[in-house]
Amino acid sequence: MNSWESISGDRPRRALRATGGIGPHFVIRLDPTSPGVSAEEFFSQPHLRQLVEDVAHRLDTTEPRVAVSSLQYELAERLWAVTLGAWVTDGLIPDLHAVTYGRSPAGHVRFHLPIPTALERPGATPAETAALVADLVINQLTSAHIALKSVTEVAAGLLWGNAAAALVLVTNTLLGRGEHHHHDVDAISRQILATPPLSGRLDGDIIGAIKRRSCCLYYRTAARRTCGDCPLSGTAIVRSQP
């Protein structure tokens, strides 16, 4: 059985540049003069607390856990987008271990990869691809969750529910491009959603309506409304919000 082969040089760079054209959350910065900072520095206590404060200010909330949820959702969405986007673009899985981080003034996360490498396995089944993608992204998120929970207490179920919902959003963006038949991105995503700790976080089908089993707390921002997949829509707890 063939193993995953490491690919370097211009091909991963071209694939990731093309991936960035899909949408804003698919962008990863490749400029060597803008290298970003390591995960250790980005998720350090002083930097992370300031980042959470800036996100809270943008959302007009005084609750750190609401800001942490939004920050983590964006992080998960970007990880899924860059990874699956490159797979759809050129059958490559970027090496996320090399990703560095940046941020906008408003607290939006930015990814950097000045010297991109990727993994390739011609003929890989959806299950094999899903196993690699899940391992890479879940490892990244697990480390991020530990750091985020050091800022404020937030339920693990909420965070992994965010990650599962973000995967559905990214998958449907790719499906809408009509390129999924060759790369089986829908089958890959279903396999990933069956992988702990993502399994059991959603009801419904990845193509169509889903309902989360946890709430992302968006209704507690200045928007004062729930998301389309929220399990609390129409409940008393939401209606009681000012």
Backbone angles phi, psi at 93, to 5 degrees: -115, 110
Q: Kindly report which listed range (18-22, 54-58, 184-188, 212-216) carries the lowest average pLDDT score.
A: 212-216
Q: Which amino acid is at 73?
A: Y
Asked, as a colleague might, if the bond just before 197 is cis with ω within 30 of 0, I would say yes
172-193 pLDDT tens trace: 999 988 755 556 999 999 999 9
Structural contact between residues 33 and 100, judged by C-beta atoms closer than 8 angstroms: no
Q: Average of pLDDT values for 116-142?
A: 96
- pTM strictly above 0.85: yes
Q: Does the pLDDT at position 237 exceed 70?
A: no
